[in-house]
Amino acid sequence: MNRFFVDGAFEVGQRATLAGADARKLTAVLRAVAGDRVEILDGRSSRFMGIVRDVGRDRVEVELAALLDEDQREGSLAITLAQGIPKGQKMDFVVEKAVELGVQRIVPLVSERTIARPEGRDGKVERWRRLAKGAALQCGRARIPEITAPMDLDAVLALGTAHDAVLMLWELAEPKPLREQLDEIGAGCRLLVIVGPEGGLSQREAEQARAAGAHLISLGRRILRTETAALVLTAALHALRGEL
């Protein structure tokens, strides 16, 4: 069944309304008619078997006929990725792939060496949220990861209190095997991962993070591009738990 997300909390027997791009996909692409079945996920990640009841030009009414079993595709790790905003369209790539790899929250990070500084008026955050939704649908996730407004390093480090460990990728950290580093840290399931922009994080920022309790870690002797580093670490974290 094709899967769609809806805002809010629903119960079996209620109707959900699909509008905008979702409605256009159902009507123009899938040629949905009354009686067709779709999968609906609400704001609580509840999964429903839905039956199309009314099809309009730009809205589709779906009856939530049955509650489906809990989705197990989210995995055990709850990763928040604070990604230094790179230039051009690289952030689009990071958002899409991080969602596919199971990241639960993405925080665009504005650091000392950030060149691209999105303003609220340019719509980039909304674009990233649309990309996150599309990626979540494509890979069958049970929820759409949150994309926050851009934050500076102080604000990102303040998020650390809600996590079991804060991991900052830094090219000057001691190059040791990742498993060995994580064993030393004793990282739990709720992880805040911080990655700098193209120019990396400064010595001052690294020391600031260390003072706030972050662990400075390395991904080896080769320096990876910012859009590569976050994805490599996220994939490795899942792989070390046997979830890839």
Name the domain boundary from 67, 101, 122: 67
pLDDT at 122: 61
Same domain, 31 and 128: no
Same domain, 182 and 121: yes
Same domain, 86 and 195: yes
Same domain, 185 and 128: yes
Residue 107 is assigned to a structural domain of this protein? yes
Same domain, 57 and 101: no
Nearby residues of 67 by Cβ (< 8 Å), 6 or more positions away = 12, 46, 47, 48, 49
Residue 73 is assigned to a structural domain of this protein? no
Name the domain boundary from 19, 44, 67: 67
pLDDT at 142: 76
Tokens (6 digits) for 220: 């080896």
Residue 203 is assigned to a structural domain of this protein? yes
List, for residues 46-93, the tens digit of each pLDDT value.
Answer: 889 999 999 987 899 999 999 887 655 566 789 999 999 998 889 999
Per the confidence metrics, is the pTM higher than 0.85? Answer: no
Which of 148-181 are b and which e, b meaning 16 or more Cβ less than 10 Å from the residue's Cβ?
bebbebeebbebbeebebbbbbbbebeeeebeeb
Name the domain boundary from 14, 38, 67: 67
Residue 72 is assigned to a structural domain of this protein? no
pLDDT at 72: 55
Residue 58 is assigned to a structural domain of this protein? yes
Same domain, 58 and 89: no
Residue 166 is assigned to a structural domain of this protein? yes
Rounded mean pLDDT, 187-213: 91
Q: What is the mean pLDDT of the chain?
A: 88
Give the CATH number, domain containing residue 62: 2.40.240.20
Query: If 0-12 CB within 10 Å is exposed, 13-18 middle and 19+ buried, where does residue 220 land?
Result: exposed
154 vs 116, higher pLDDT: 154
Rounded mean pLDDT, 108-115: 90
Same domain, 28 and 101: no
Q: Percent of the chain beyond pLDDT 90?
A: 51
- Residue 217 structural domain: 78-240
Give the CATH number, domain containing residue 110: 3.40.1280.10
pLDDT at 12: 92
Same domain, 49 and 115: no
Same domain, 113 and 51: no
Same domain, 84 and 63: no
Helix axes 226-240, 90-100, angle to 10 degrees: 10
Residue 126 is assigned to a structural domain of this protein? yes
Count: domains in the chain: 2
pLDDT at 244: 65
Same domain, 105 and 147: yes
Same domain, 33 and 119: no
